[in-house]
Amino acid sequence: MFPDARILDVDLTHQVVKVKILPGEIYRRYPGGSALGLYLMLQYMPPGIDPLSPENLLVFSVSPLTGLPISGQSRVVITTKSPLTGAIGDSQAGGFFPAHFKANGWDAVVFRGKSEGPVYLYIDGENVTLRSAEHLWGKVTGEVETLIKEEIGNQGLEIAQIGPAGENLVRFACVINHCNRANGRTGTGAVMGSKNLKAVVVKPAKPRSPASKEGFSSLNKNVVARLRENQAVTGLGQYGTAGDLDGFNEIGFLPTKNWRTGFFPEGADNISGSTMAETILTGRDTCYACAVRCKRVVEVSGRVDPLYGGPEYETAAALGSYCGVTSLETVALANQLCNMYGLDTISCGGTLSFAMECYETGLIDQTTTDGMELNFGNQEVVPRLIEMIAKREGFGNLLAEGSARAAEKIGGGAKDFSMTVKGQELPAHMPQFKPSVGLIYAVNPFGADHQSSEHDPFLVTDPESQERRWLAQLGVWKGYQDTYALDDEKVRFAFDTQCYFSIVDTLGLCQFVWGPSWELYGPTDMVDLCKYGVGWETSLFELMRIGERRINMMRYFNAREGFARAHDTLPERIFKPLPDGHSRGIALDRDQFAEALTTYYQFAGWDIETGNPTDVTLRKLSLAWLLELA
């Protein structure tokens, strides 16, 4: 009943494309996303290789649900060994590329080796070819889109590509599709660059039909009804993800000036989603078949091109408040440059703000910064530095390594200014305010990530709300009313919702549609989606176990690479009281955090000394084959 996975295996060294079939019986255990990616990587790749060497694998994968005619299903995951963290790399993006990739008949593509010269992969159903990308190398994403569409003669092509940042092996280079959707995190773009792979191009394909039209239609009706009444999602459509930015500032939890404070009174209103909606917003964009339309389209005549989309919350914070930037236009331009050059906006902003703090504290000066004054709030230097990073020019070459590596080179306490976990810069949610998110930042196998668990639903006190009712289906029923608690209940909340988000990610679903807090689709709807979409009669029990399996595979991957408990921590600053605003005096309690970390390991079935999955846990999750491989 479960479909086989059809996998493209691309040997870039020998320019050979093969088709591999993973039987449905196995695919069902790793049904898409990085679960599938990890299954392939752990099978084929030994530990200890250099992420930027030809030995690294790079997997694009979707899921059996990708491209079905319903909101929030067009997501592609890239899995690889991360050049930023040295741990497992995992990054997700929406758009139209994922739906068309799947509609062409493919579930994953594995890239191995390294091409002698630049190439791109062109997928036209069963015709899959490697083509020269010599003429595209060095070009920004918008130019490449135009050139490939002209070359192939099809304006509907969907293109996932690296920009110059990926070519130049910037450790936080990303993969961009549609010029404005990013597989942003963990430096997957650098791995593409290291393989001389410029792009993956898919021809638009015939839309998929669900297994049950009737069931599907009822699922779609539900969401249309919920959308109408739903203020959260209406707000998301109206203001984008940056709609929350000024609210976070008001309560004092908007990471500002490299996280020295959570309070950004001079700039929060300027760079918020509501200001964007009133000023530079010219349209709303969406992903394949999605009714939410959360994507921003912005324009500043002669300066910001609508092609590259508008800033998300994370981007507005990282390139805005992190750096003290108060100009929305600057934030929009910085966002555009990241999408042109192919840089992760979060790591980019986190690295820039790190550099600014080094500068302000005198750890570096203009002799290091090529003469630039890197004070917080210096609007001019941000766009300039982004280009320098992407091109690895001058001081940009140091920052292209990310803040953690840069801190090591700078020395003298710079380490304290690198707001990273496992070398990856923190997204803009403050663990001081959302302790369970802090815990997940610390334990998440691919570095700090804000989309790997439900955030403490601190605002949801109504037990009859849809969010609370859905969380109850996950067995979460108590204890999370207390924002600052990090007790057993909160740890279980973190772990169980992490497993839930893990299956959401595995199935390539969008968390803005399928995460409980948005109150559009809930856990049982996901079970129905599998049934009506592809005839997969599953249960939330099976799905949660898959989610848990994926997390354990990631941890196992990391354990092979030498990661241990010491890597599951947060920057020192998080444990120190915030200085001002409404959050003044608040810190994450260090002992409470350490205790919660132990509890988390225990609940997860991991060794409390090392943080690695025990053999028993692997066996319980049908992962004994990993032990046999070892």
CA distance 604 to 612: 10
Query: Which amino acid, residue 554?
Result: M
Nearer to a copy of itself, 295 or 492 (CB): 492
Interacting residues with a copy of itself between 577 and 596 (CB under 8 A): none
Query: Token pair 């996901």 is at which residue?
Result: 526
> How far apart are CB 436 and a copy of itself at their closest, in Å?
15
Nearer to a copy of itself, 112 or 555 (CB): 555
Strand, coil or helix: what is 176?
Answer: strand
- From 166-174, 363-371, 381-389, 536-544, give the range in contact with a copy of itself by CB under 8 A: 536-544
- From 8-16, 147-155, 315-323, 540-548, give the range in contact with a copy of itself by CB under 8 A: 540-548
- From 209-217, 398-406, 443-451, 599-607, give the range in contact with a copy of itself by CB under 8 A: 599-607
CB-neighbour burial class of residue 419 (10 A; exposed 0-12, middle 13-18, buried 19+): buried
Residue 146 engages a copy of itself in binding (rule: CB under 8 A): no
> How far apart are CB 163 and a copy of itself at their closest, in Å?
41
Cβ 245 vs Cβ 262: under 8 Å: no
Q: What is the token pair recorded at 363? A: 């750890």
> How far apart are CB 493 and a copy of itself at their closest, in Å?
11
> How far apart are CB 470 and a copy of itself at their closest, in Å?
8
- From 304-312, 377-385, 583-591, 617-625, give the range in contact with a copy of itself by CB under 8 A: 617-625
Considering only 13, 282, 361, 622, the residue that binds a copy of itself (CB under 8 A) is 622
Residue 276: Cβ within 10 Å count: 24
> By rule CB under 8 A, what count of residues binds a copy of itself?
37
Nearer to a copy of itself, 102 or 531 (CB): 531
Considering only 373, 462, 537, 572, the residue that binds a copy of itself (CB under 8 A) is 537
Nearer to a copy of itself, 238 or 614 (CB): 614
Q: Where are the beta strands (DSSP E) in 203-275?
A: none
Strand, coil or helix: what is 598?
Answer: helix
Q: Report CA 499 to chain centroid distance, whole Å.
A: 16
Residue 628 engages a copy of itself in binding (rule: CB under 8 A): no
> How far apart are CB 571 and a copy of itself at their closest, in Å?
29
Nearer to a copy of itself, 392 or 492 (CB): 492
Query: Which amino acid, residue 100?
Result: H
Considering only 116, 206, 229, 616, the residue that binds a copy of itself (CB under 8 A) is 616
Q: Write down the number of H helices and E strands in the chain.
A: 25, 16
Cβ 241 vs Cβ 248: under 8 Å: no
Nearer to a copy of itself, 327 or 473 (CB): 473
Interaction mask 474-493, a copy of itself, x per CB under 8 A: xx-xx---------xx--x-
> How far apart are CB 474 and a copy of itself at their closest, in Å?
6
Q: Which residues, 6+ apart, have CB-to-CB distance to 291 below 8 Å?
A: 71, 223, 224, 227
Nearer to a copy of itself, 53 or 592 (CB): 592
Q: What is the token pair recorded at 229? A: 């009444």
Nearer to a copy of itself, 381 or 597 (CB): 597
Interacting residues with a copy of itself between 454 and 473 (CB under 8 A): 463-464, 469, 472-473
The DSSP symbol for 522 reads: -
Query: Which amino acid, residue 88?
Result: I
Nearer to a copy of itself, 301 or 541 (CB): 541
Residue 222 engages a copy of itself in binding (rule: CB under 8 A): no
Strand, coil or helix: what is 229?
Answer: helix
What are φ and ψ of residue 117, in 5° steps? -120, 170
Q: Which of 258, 281, 384 is nearest to 330 (CA)?
A: 384
Query: Which amino acid, residue 74?
Result: S
Residue 25: Cβ within 10 Å count: 10
CB-neighbour burial class of residue 231 (10 A; exposed 0-12, middle 13-18, buried 19+): exposed
Interacting residues with a copy of itself between 403 and 432 (CB under 8 A): none
Residue 29 engages a copy of itself in binding (rule: CB under 8 A): yes
- From 25-33, 92-100, 237-245, 581-589, give the range in contact with a copy of itself by CB under 8 A: 25-33
Residue 1 engages a copy of itself in binding (rule: CB under 8 A): yes
Interacting residues with a copy of itself between 544 and 583 (CB under 8 A): 544-545
Residue 293 engages a copy of itself in binding (rule: CB under 8 A): no
Nearer to a copy of itself, 264 or 600 (CB): 600
Q: Which residues, 6+ apart, have CB-to-CB distance to 326 below 8 Å?
A: 266, 267, 270, 271, 320, 377, 379
CA distance 545 to 547: 5
CA distance 309 to 66: 23
Interaction mask 512-531, a copy of itself, x per CB under 8 A: -----------xx--x----
Residue 541 engages a copy of itself in binding (rule: CB under 8 A): yes
CB-neighbour burial class of residue 425 (10 A; exposed 0-12, middle 13-18, buried 19+): buried
- From 70-78, 171-179, 320-328, 538-546, give the range in contact with a copy of itself by CB under 8 A: 538-546
> How far apart are CB 543 and a copy of itself at their closest, in Å?
8
Strand, coil or helix: what is 405?
Answer: helix
CA distance 168 to 457: 41
Query: Token pair 């099976």 is at which residue?
Result: 542
Residue 150 engages a copy of itself in binding (rule: CB under 8 A): no
CA distance 115 to 121: 11
Which residues of the shown chain bind a copy of itself in the complex (CB under 8 A)? 1, 25, 28-29, 463-464, 469, 472-475, 477-478, 488-489, 492, 523-524, 527, 537-545, 599, 602-603, 605, 616, 619-620, 622, 624
